[in-house]
Amino acid sequence: MLLNEAVTDLVNAHARLDISQAWGDGTAVAADGTHMDTYLDNLLAGTSVRYGKPGGIAYHHISDSYIALFTHFIPCGVWEAVYFIEGLLKNASEVKPTTVHADTQGQSLPVFTLAHLLGFDLMPRIRNWKGLTSYRPSRQSEYVHIDALFDEPDKNAIDWDLIESQIRHLMRVAVSVREGVISSATLLKRLRSGSHKNATYTAFREVGRVIRTVQLLRYLTDAPLRRRVTATTNKVEPFNRPSGSASATRASSPTTTPSSRRRR
């Protein structure tokens, strides 16, 4: 607890510096993970397929003013997107971002829904937008210039009746997450692995289709927005480099937890 309070004090002090305002106003944050070497014998360590060595993922929330608001340490191979909302909710500093930029993993439909219900504007960096499905507000909706972005007119229309029937339940779920009754990571994991016939999952998916379609259209038509998304997400890389350098200074450390420590 004392460590979290110290982090909060540092973030608040950084926000009061004149130079931090030159980098950003604190309303946007980028979430991304970086591999960190660890001891082999602990609860979180695992072998990363991507990096080919044991370790874990330090999942950072980096403000547009170049400071980490919150960091999770998570196992390799997990779905990183489930943790970005958790970090925003646990952020106790005076810096309160409302716009969240994430990488490709942040494009899940339930993630869009939960972020929207909690008041966050999720705008990930969309790379493979041609492979994403856009949804029409109704089967009768047709457009002169952008109709090619959508499928055939009788397909991929939003089910507004489903959303209306489940909206109260979705709001109760969002309040439960906000109040800490259930963590956002636990909820999103369940929604990801849950049956597509589950009413909660289908409602989250349907609202997510609406939000992601709107965000996709914004991303494609707003060049300054694309530049802001790229600029904010790129701020994570300079932060990760000194973090990696700090961990490199421990290269001489043993790769397994000493037996004397394991017995404690």
Write out pLDDT tens, residues 147-183.
888 877 677 899 999 999 999 999 999 999 999 999 9
Collapsing DSSP states into helix, strand and coil, what is residue 31?
strand
Q: Is the pLDDT score of 252 beyond 80?
A: no
Q: Which amino acid is at 129?
A: W
Q: What is the pLDDT of residues 110-124, one digit of tens each?
A: 999 999 999 999 998
Q: Is the pLDDT score of 248 beyond 50?
A: no
Q: What is the mean pLDDT of residues 73-86?
A: 80
**pLDDT tier at 9, thresholds 50, 70, 90:** very high
| Other residues' Cβ atoms within 10 Å of the Cβ of residue 211 | 18
- Is residue 8 in some structural domain? no
Residue identified by tokens 């289908």 is 202
- For the chain, the C-alpha Rg in angstroms (whole number) is 20
Asked if 112 and 219 count as a contact pair (C-beta separation under 8 A), the reply is: no
Asked if 77 and 56 count as a contact pair (C-beta separation under 8 A), the reply is: no
Cα-Cα end-to-end distance for the chain: 23
In terms of Cα–Cα distance, which of 140, 141, 124, 142 is closest to 132? 124
- Is residue 141 in some structural domain? yes
- Is residue 175 in some structural domain? yes
Residue 181's alpha-carbon distances to 111, 116, 141, in angstroms, are: 18, 19, 40
Alpha-carbon torsion angle 143, 144, 146, 150, nearest 10: 40
| pLDDT, greater one: 257 or 11 | 11
- Is residue 31 in some structural domain? no
Report the number of secondary-structure helices (H) and strands (E) in the chain.
Answer: 10, 6
Q: What is the pLDDT of residue 71?
A: 84
What is the distance between the alpha carbons of residues 54 and 45, in angstroms, rounded to a whole number?
6
Asked if 141 and 156 count as a contact pair (C-beta separation under 8 A), the reply is: no
- Is residue 108 in some structural domain? yes
Asked if 60 and 35 count as a contact pair (C-beta separation under 8 A), the reply is: no
- Is residue 149 in some structural domain? yes
In 119-226, the DSSP E strands lie at 121-122
Q: Is the pLDDT score of 249 beyond 60?
A: no
- Is residue 54 in some structural domain? no
- Please state the domain count of the chain: 1
Q: What is the domain extent for residue 198? A: 103-221
What is the distance between the alpha carbons of residues 79 and 126, in angstroms, rounded to a whole number?
17
Q: What is the mean pLDDT of residues 38-65?
A: 77
Which one-letter DSSP state was computed for residue 149? G
**pLDDT tier at 237, thresholds 50, 70, 90:** confident
What is the distance between the alpha carbons of residues 113 and 158, in angstroms, rounded to a whole number?
14
Q: What is the pLDDT of residue 258?
A: 43
Residue 187's alpha-carbon distances to 91, 113, 204, in angstroms, are: 19, 12, 11
